[in-house]
Copies of this chain bind each other. A is one copy, B any other.
């Protein structure tokens, strides 16, 4: 082999660049936790490990879901447990601490930030009133604070297990978190323990308890404990008498100005929280904790590599998308107070109605072993508590919005052949949803309105969320049919594949609106279409209002979860048939009529970019053989609504749902969850490499791609022409390369072989 000098030099330079660039080019550096933090995104901005149980963050009033709000909002303190991207009533915000300088006689130590900086795994702020700098990083179950007090200032810290987010005066307010109890003990001159017990919140859940153990690297010089408005200077403990408790601690003026605080958290006990510290952070090295966290993220994020010349904007949007997808649900293995198990335990499925569409499929693609754990945790919950989770949080099922959407997650695992799951048990869990009404509280779990759905073939108007429940149940029935078929349960398959058509029972064929024909519309239990629906709950007078496919309107005094479609219109939900779009197209009047329908949908603002019911819609041109129109829509939607700013997400991130939608589309892939394929679109990146199991990889190369060359002209899978605008999951995970030749105008590529039919 002949090697020229030039080659050797070039090779050497290449190595040099690889090494020097590594730190900068590590994927985790492109994560910006602030994307989506303002506006409606509501993402959690503090440090978190992947699926991390502890999520420390400032709380900038008692109400925001993620704790944080932008400057100039005051900070009341830093609490250790949060969720990301949620709407409705807040959950968590437990075990708040707050550094301050001053006397030990005031519980409220609210301060204003004069600066703040955030990167993956790291939060830092300085307070105006006292110039105290607070830095935070975290391990899985232990948060780590480095607090720097100004020179000559006294060093004080509040620890407040009585605090929580979303407090309301009404004791049983829907979605309000409600105080149950708290406790605090000064254990030694460097340790404090206690807990916070709270119920309610968005999912109206039963009481959960967050235990903590806090340790300091400086001795406590003085303290007061506090209960229910009164300070106690000589009582090291305040027991739980159903009242709020707290402590104010002084580390005095002596010693170094830097105070390090580790707060172990546990859902079992204070000693378990202490053990979590010993296991995870047996030292005082802030940087080591941060590095370890960065490394955990890097191991996950680098599984998808983008071509080096990708714009910083896209790198940030993409890796932040992956990041947001993997901070929820929360891994609480070993922290389950409800039953002992050797199986994984996850909480904060918040909620599956949001995440089943794209978050779960993205986790499956990046980290199938993790998704297997999550699915097994879901089945474990079914085994022990009777129903699969939906909006589970604080160790309690407790809220559904649409269908029994966990069924789609199970079907998705099944069609993507995730190993290590008992699919017979999964089918049993799905059938429980589909056959046994949850009763008592019809929105807690399972399928509310099930008996009417089974009797009539649809949920009649009058039952909350009749429209979207019908649509979701029909798809969930399809999910059951899918698994039953694969497991050779023919009778079950036959029944559920038939029920999968139930959406048709609410399809009002002759109904026209804005040029489109056929809509999902309210029908009463006697089978009458309702043009006017009852406005409110009065039992004497029954005022009505006109119901049309474009309205979400409901009387101000009717709860927003009682309407016909949850957070959506008939324009959106009439397309919500992920298993049988050919039939929707036929009923809409054929391909052209359906194209016009979609065009109207996107061009007259009937499409809602900010919420999950519209997630699949931009790809629907695929089903009429015009995938390039899907790609056009997606590019426009991303351009108009997503960016790297604090308002870079158009709606609630919902535990990563919105972010995972974006990440998929940046890759040119989009899953139809519960079905074994991805729709192919023009990617936004020239080269994407997915590192898969067993050392395999799958590379998507978009040749000659530019802003102008945004259409796929030809495709080659492992060197062979590939003419479908969709690709099976199995074709990706077996590894290989998909080459897309890009062009400046639409082509016939992908127009003939439509996505798999029901």
The chain A residues found within 8 Å of chain B, CB to CB, are 172, 178-181, 183, 185, 195, 197, 199, 206-207, 209, 237-242, 268-269, 271-272, 274-275, 334, 337-340, 383-384, 386-387, 432, 436-441, 445-446, 451
List, sorted by A's number, 13 A–B pairs whose CB atoms are closer than 8 Å: A180-B338, A180-B340, A181-B269, A197-B337, A199-B338, A199-B339, A207-B338, A239-B275, A436-B439, A437-B440, A438-B439, A439-B439, A440-B440
Contacting residues, chain B, for A180 (C-beta < 8 A): 337-340
Q: In this complex, which of A179, A197, A387, A445 has the most chain B Cβ atoms within 10 angstroms of its Cβ?
A: A197
Q: How far is the CB of A249 from chain B (nearest CB, A)?
A: 18
The 4 A-B pairs of least Cβ separation, nearest first, read A439-B439, A239-B271, A437-B439, A242-B340
Contacting residues, chain B, for A197 (C-beta < 8 A): 337
Task: Find the B residue at minimum CB distance from A448.
Answer: B439
Q: How far is the CB of A183 from chain B (nearest CB, A)?
A: 5
Q: How far is the CB of A543 from chain B (nearest CB, A)?
A: 24
Residues B337 and A181 in contact, CB atoms below 8 Å apart: yes
Q: In this complex, which of A180, A268, A386, A445 has the most chain B Cβ atoms within 10 angstroms of its Cβ?
A: A268
Contacting residues, chain B, for A207 (C-beta < 8 A): 337-339
Residues B239 and A274 in contact, CB atoms below 8 Å apart: yes
Contacting residues, chain B, for A209 (C-beta < 8 A): 337
Q: How far is the CB of A199 from chain B (nearest CB, A)?
A: 6
Q: How far is the CB of A192 from chain B (nearest CB, A)?
A: 13
Contacting residues, chain B, for A183 (C-beta < 8 A): 269, 271-272
Contacting residues, chain B, for A275 (C-beta < 8 A): 239, 241
Q: How far is the CB of A196 from chain B (nearest CB, A)?
A: 12
Q: What's the Cα separation between A445 and B439 when bound, in Å?
A: 11
Known A269-B195, A439-B437, A439-B440: A178·B239 in contact at CB below 8 Å: no
Known A197-B337, A338-B180: A185·B438 in contact at CB below 8 Å: no
Q: How far is the CB of A439 from chain B (nearest CB, A)?
A: 2
Q: What's the Cα separation between A197 and B386 when bound, in Å?
A: 21
Q: How far is the CB of A528 from chain B (nearest CB, A)?
A: 23
Task: Find the B residue at minimum CB distance from A199.
Answer: B339
Contacting residues, chain B, for A383 (C-beta < 8 A): 172
Residues A268 and B181 in contact, CB atoms below 8 Å apart: yes
Task: Find the B residue at minimum CB distance from A197.
Answer: B337
Q: How far is the CB of A450 from chain B (nearest CB, A)?
A: 9
Residues A440 and B446 in contact, CB atoms below 8 Å apart: yes
Q: How far is the CB of A430 from chain B (nearest CB, A)?
A: 14
Contacting residues, chain B, for A237 (C-beta < 8 A): 271
Residues B436 and A440 in contact, CB atoms below 8 Å apart: yes
Residues A242 and B334 in contact, CB atoms below 8 Å apart: yes
Q: What's the Cα separation between A439 and B181 when bound, in Å?
A: 31
* A438 in complex: contacting residue of B179, B268, B387, B440, CB < 8 Å: B440
Q: What's the Cα separation between A241 and B336 when bound, in Å?
A: 10
Q: How far is the CB of A337 from chain B (nearest CB, A)?
A: 6
Q: How far is the CB of A532 from chain B (nearest CB, A)?
A: 28
Residues B386 and A441 in contact, CB atoms below 8 Å apart: yes
Q: What's the Cα separation between A241 and B383 when bound, in Å?
A: 22
Residues B206 and A338 in contact, CB atoms below 8 Å apart: yes
Q: What's the Cα separation between A308 and B453 when bound, in Å?
A: 69
Q: How far is the CB of A17 from chain B (nearest CB, A)?
A: 48
Q: What's the Cα separation between A738 and B312 when bound, in Å?
A: 95
Contacting residues, chain B, for A446 (C-beta < 8 A): 439-440
Contacting residues, chain B, for A437 (C-beta < 8 A): 437, 439-440
Q: What's the Cα separation between A238 and B386 when bound, in Å?
A: 32
* A340 in complex: contacting residue of B179, B271, B384, B439, CB < 8 Å: B179
Residues A178 and B241 in contact, CB atoms below 8 Å apart: no
Residues A340 and B178 in contact, CB atoms below 8 Å apart: yes
Task: Find the B residue at minimum CB distance from A195.
Answer: B269
Known A339-B178, A438-B440: A239·B269 in contact at CB below 8 Å: yes
Contacting residues, chain B, for A206 (C-beta < 8 A): 338
Contacting residues, chain B, for A268 (C-beta < 8 A): 181, 240
Contacting residues, chain B, for A185 (C-beta < 8 A): 271
Contacting residues, chain B, for A242 (C-beta < 8 A): 334, 340
Residues B272 and A240 in contact, CB atoms below 8 Å apart: yes
Residues A240 and B271 in contact, CB atoms below 8 Å apart: yes
Q: In this complex, which of A206, A275, A339, A441 has the most chain B Cβ atoms within 10 angstroms of its Cβ?
A: A339
Residues A241 and B181 in contact, CB atoms below 8 Å apart: no
Q: What's the Cα separation between A387 and B439 when bound, in Å?
A: 11
Residues B451 and A272 in contact, CB atoms below 8 Å apart: no
Q: What's the Cα separation between A660 and B617 when bound, in Å?
A: 68
Q: How far is the CB of A445 from chain B (nearest CB, A)?
A: 7
Q: How far is the CB of A182 from chain B (nearest CB, A)?
A: 9
Known: A239-B272, A240-B272, A438-B439; 9 extra A-B contacts, CB below 8 A, are: A172-B383, A183-B271, A185-B271, A206-B338, A207-B337, A209-B337, A241-B334, A386-B440, A437-B440
Q: What's the Cα separation between A330 and B242 when bound, in Å?
A: 19
Q: What's the Cα separation between A8 and B237 when bound, in Å?
A: 63
Task: Find the B residue at minimum CB distance from A383.
Answer: B172
Q: In this complex, which of A209, A386, A440 has the most chain B Cβ atoms within 10 angstroms of its Cβ?
A: A440
Task: Find the B residue at minimum CB distance from A278.
Answer: B239
Residues B440 and A387 in contact, CB atoms below 8 Å apart: yes
* A241 in complex: contacting residue of B238, B272, B338, B445, CB < 8 Å: B272
Q: How far is the CB of A220 from chain B (nearest CB, A)?
A: 19
Q: How far is the CB of A689 from chain B (nearest CB, A)?
A: 41
Q: How far is the CB of A185 from chain B (nearest CB, A)?
A: 7
Q: How far is the CB of A708 from chain B (nearest CB, A)?
A: 57
Q: What's the Cα separation between A432 and B439 when bound, in Å?
A: 11
Q: What's the Cα separation between A197 and B335 when bound, in Å?
A: 13
Q: What's the Cα separation between A431 and B172 when bound, in Å?
A: 21
Q: What's the Cα separation between A451 and B450 when bound, in Å?
A: 13
* A445 in complex: contacting residue of B240, B440, B451, CB < 8 Å: B440
Residues A181 and B445 in contact, CB atoms below 8 Å apart: no
Q: What's the Cα separation between A185 and B269 when bound, in Å?
A: 12
Contacting residues, chain B, for A172 (C-beta < 8 A): 383-384
Task: Find the B residue at minimum CB distance from A182.
Answer: B269
Task: Find the B residue at minimum CB distance from A445.
Answer: B440
Q: How far is the CB of A93 from chain B (nearest CB, A)?
A: 17
Q: What's the Cα separation between A384 and B206 when bound, in Å?
A: 9
Task: Find the B residue at minimum CB distance from A209.
Answer: B337
Q: What's the Cα separation between A240 and B266 when bound, in Å?
A: 10
Q: How far is the CB of A545 from chain B (nearest CB, A)?
A: 29
Q: What's the Cα separation between A120 and B445 when bound, in Å?
A: 48
Q: What's the Cα separation between A242 and B339 when bound, in Å?
A: 9
Contacting residues, chain B, for A195 (C-beta < 8 A): 269
Q: In this complex, which of A238, A239, A386 has the most chain B Cβ atoms within 10 angstroms of its Cβ?
A: A239
Task: Find the B residue at minimum CB distance from A387.
Answer: B440
Q: What's the Cα separation between A181 and B206 when bound, in Å?
A: 20
Residues A340 and B440 in contact, CB atoms below 8 Å apart: no
Task: Find the B residue at minimum CB distance from A239.
Answer: B271
